[in-house]
A and B are shown apart, each in its own frame.
Chain A
Amino acid sequence: DIQMTQSPSSLSASVGDRVTITCQASQDISNYLNWYQQKPGKAPKLLIYDASNLETGVPSRFSGSGSGTDFTFTISSLQPEDIATYYCQQYDNLLTFGPGTKVDIK
C-alpha cells in the first residue's frame, strides 16, 4: 500500500494570502498525483491532475508541483470561496487519498 501524508492538517489565512499545502507519498509515485477541493456538504471536485495540470474551468490561482514523493499545492491569493478541505490522491498503485487539509479564513 502507498500511504499519503499531508501537512498541515489545518490552517487559517487571510484573504489574499498565499497558501501552501504539502503532500508526501510513502514511495516514488512519479507525477501520479491529483488534488481535490471539498466544500462542506458537497462532493469533492478535481482541481489539479498529474501533479501540475489545472483541470478545465479551475481558477489559475490554484497550482500544483512536485514529483517522486514530495508534492505541493498552492493557492496564490486566498479567496473567501476557497474555504474547503483539500485532499491529495495518488494513482501509481490503485488509489489512496491523503488525510486532508482544512483551510479557513483568519
Chain B
Amino acid sequence: EVQLVQSGAEVKKPGESLKISCKGSGYSFTSYWIGWVRQMPGKGLEWMGIIYPGDSDTRYSPSFQGQVTISADKSISTAYLQWSSLKASDTAMYYCARLRDYYDSSGYSLPASLDYWGQGTLVTVSS
C-alpha cells in the first residue's frame, strides 16, 4: 500500500527556521516525483515545487523559488520542505504528494498527476 506520512504540526515564531518531512512507503521512492502543495487558511491549492528523488532534480513554482528549499534523502525514502526564515504569511497546511509521470519525446520523466497524498502538516507562524 502506497503511503506518504508527514511530520507533525509545528508552531514557530517569525524569523525561525523549519524543516518538515514526508516519508514514502509501499512503492519505489526513487522512481516517482514528490511534490509539495500549500493551502493557506480557507484558500485553494498552490503548487510549490517538486523533486525527483532518483537524481534530486528539483523544480520550483516561480511563486516559491527562493522562498523554500525542497530536498530528499532516498536512503530513508523521505522528502523535505524547509524555510530559513519563516514569516506569518507562511501559516498554512502543507501537503506532500506522489506524482505519476509521463515521458516527453526525449524520454524524460515529467510530472503529471498527484495520485497519493500525505495527511498534511499544519505550520503556524506567530509571535
Instruction: Say yes or no for B50: interface residue by CB 8 A criterion.
Output: yes
Residues of A within 8 Å of B, CB-based: how many? 23
Residues of B within 8 A of A96 (CB): 47
CB atoms of A97 and B46 under 8 A apart? yes
Name A residues whose Cβ lies closer than 8 Å to a Cβ of B. Answer: 1, 32, 34, 36, 38, 43-46, 49-50, 55, 85, 87, 89, 91, 94-100
Closest chain-B Cβ to A88's Cβ sits at a distance in Å of: 10
Instruction: Say yes or no for B114: interface residue by CB 8 A criterion.
Output: yes
1/0 contact trace for B97-112 toward A, CB 8 Å? 1001010000000111
Task: Assess A94 versus B59: contact at CB under 8 Å? Given A87-B44, A99-B44.
Answer: yes
Complex interface: stretch among B10-18, B66-74, B84-92, B115-123: B115-123
CB atoms of A100 and B113 under 8 A apart? no
Of B45, B47, B118, B120, the most chain A CB neighbours within 10 A belong to B45
